[in-house]
């Protein structure tokens, strides 16, 4: 696409979005806190999953102060099902910073927004454009895919050169008076028409500007490492005091959350086998072998949690599923 067409490209996207844009709760507000929550949730979770959880979360934590005042276990428990718990810790840290350093008022200038914990380039662009209608650039995987095709560019989108190029393009193309609609539009184009499989070019509002003849071959990405297989051996110890659970220490991926206690394979191999659970985490394919057994001496970070407290105990989805499955089974 030629530089002289940039303005028309941005306007075509805005016009298309104003007529066809999807209605989401976070698009009905300019409240920066509500927008930050939606953006953090949407970073690694699908729109349908976020839609199912967003309004309940906003009812529980309608302002930064509500989240800042909640303890970490409550925040983690409320985030269950959304995954990638590092995000809720960052969100809570941002809420605390807003309360402690800005008297509970969400900052509106780029420099201050960037000082909040967990806020990077993308989230800064989203906050500035969606909350304040400030012409700030924004690039995510959808925007990169559209750029790679519109500009027929085979630079890997996840390479430093690809990222730099797309952020520069985003800054040049962002609509000067309606950046809120423009940034939503280009992401929505990538989600709905310019998709990863075969794009629907016939319906595309910017097809006259698009220079690729083989959109299916774009974008190009760097080669990814293959997923690694890992195995774990865990114990199910249910006693009159409750279910034995292990609290994850600081610095671990699920810091502050609970899981079924983990042991070496030779410590559990003679115990009755209950089930195998398989799931994927980032680039790992996990197989978890669960055995029933009595732990004579729980470790320092292990404790029996009464069954009545398990529902409010934060744990990742794989553990929640096992707890639900075997406690439901034992109640039948
Ligand atoms: S014309 Fe096709 S490939 Fe080009 S931006 Fe539109 S949907 Fe994507």
Question: Tens digit of pLDDT for each residue in 185-225?
Answer: 999 999 999 999 889 999 999 999 999 999 999 999 998 87
Q: Report the pLDDT averaged over residues 315-328.
A: 92
CB neighbour burial string for 316-328, b if at least 16 within 10 angstroms, e if fewer: bebbbebbeebee
- Which CATH number is associated with domain 3-217? 1.10.340.30
- State if residue 12 touches ligand 1 by the CB under 6 angstroms criterion: no
Any bridge partners for residue 284, and if so which?
228, 281
pTM for this entry? 0.83
Atom of ligand 1 nearest to the CA of 207: 1
Specify whether the CB–CB gap between 302 and 249 falls below 8 A: no
Residue 164 Cα to ligand 1 middle (Å)? 22
Residue 50 Cα to ligand 1 middle (Å)? 27
| 105/108 Cα distance (integer angstroms) | 9
- State if residue 191 touches ligand 1 by the CB under 6 angstroms criterion: no
In this prediction, residue 313 carries a pLDDT of 93
Give phi and psi for 122, each to the nearest 5. -60, -50
- State if residue 149 touches ligand 1 by the CB under 6 angstroms criterion: yes
Q: Domain 228-331: which CATH class?
A: alpha beta
Specify whether the CB–CB gap between 184 and 160 falls below 8 A: no
Peptide bond into 219 cis (omega under 30): yes
Atom of ligand 1 nearest to the CA of 189: 7
pLDDT surpasses 60 at 332: no
- State if residue 127 touches ligand 1 by the CB under 6 angstroms criterion: no
- State if residue 1 touches ligand 1 by the CB under 6 angstroms criterion: no
- Residue ranges per domain, the chain? 3-217, 228-331
Indicate the burial class of 174 (C-beta count within 10 angstroms; 0-12, 13-18, 19 or more): buried
Question: Tens digit of pLDDT for each residue in 21-57?
Answer: 999 999 999 999 999 999 999 998 999 999 999 999 9
Residue 8 Cα to ligand 1 middle (Å)? 15
| 163/319 Cα distance (integer angstroms) | 37
Residue 231 falls in the annotated catalytic set: no
Give phi and psi for 241, each to the nearest 5. -80, -15
- Indicate which residue of 39, 188, 246, 302 is catalytic: 39
Question: Tens digit of pLDDT for each residue in 84-131?
Answer: 899 999 999 999 999 999 999 999 999 999 999 999 999 999 999 999
- State if residue 201 touches ligand 1 by the CB under 6 angstroms criterion: yes
Residue 211 Cα to ligand 1 middle (Å)? 9
Per-residue pLDDT band for 331 (boundaries 50, 70, 90) equals low
CB atoms within 10 A of CB 109: 10
Give phi and psi for 86, each to the nearest 5. -55, -30
């Amino acid at each position: 696409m030629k530089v002289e067409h940039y303005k028309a490209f941005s306007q075509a996207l805005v016009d298309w979005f104003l007529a066809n844009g999807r209605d989401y709760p976070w698009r009905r507000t300019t409240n920066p806190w509500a927008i930050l929550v939606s953006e953090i949730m949407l970073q690694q979770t699908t729109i349908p999953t976020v839609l199912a959880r967003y309004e309940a979360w906003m009812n529980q934590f309608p302002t930064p102060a509500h989240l800042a005042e909640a303890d970490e276990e409550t925040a983690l428990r409320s985030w269950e099902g959304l995954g990638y718990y590092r995000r809720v810790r960052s969100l809570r840290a941002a809420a605390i910073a807003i309360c402690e350093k800005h008297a509970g008022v969400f900052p509106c200038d780029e420099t201050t927004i960037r000082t909040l914990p967990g806020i990077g380039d993308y989230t800064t662009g989203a906050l500035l454009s969606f909350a304040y209608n400030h012409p700030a650039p924004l690039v995510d995987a959808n925007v990169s895919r559209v750029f790679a095709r519109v500009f027929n560019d085979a630079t890997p989108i996840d390479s430093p050169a690809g990222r730099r190029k797309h952020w520069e393009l985003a800054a040049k193309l962002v609509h000067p008076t309606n950046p809120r609609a423009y940034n939503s539009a280009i992401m929505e184009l990538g989600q709905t028409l310019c998709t990863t499989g075969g794009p629907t070019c016939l319906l595309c509002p910017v097809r006259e500007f698009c220079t690729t003849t083989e959109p299916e071959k774009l974008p190009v990405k760097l080669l990814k490492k293959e997923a690694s297989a890992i195995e774990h051996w865990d114990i199910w110890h249910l006693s009159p005091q409750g279910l034995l659970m292990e609290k994850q220490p600081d610095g671990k991926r699920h810091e502050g959350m609970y899981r079924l206690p983990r042991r070496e394979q030779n410590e559990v191999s003679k115990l009755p086998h209950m089930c195998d659970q398989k799931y994927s985490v980032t680039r790992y394919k996990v197989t978890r072998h669960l055995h029933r057994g009595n732990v004579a001496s729980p470790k320092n970070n292990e404790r029996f949690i009464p069954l009545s407290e398990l529902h409010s105990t934060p744990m990742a989805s794989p553990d929640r599923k096992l707890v639900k499955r075997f406690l439901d089974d034992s109640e039948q």
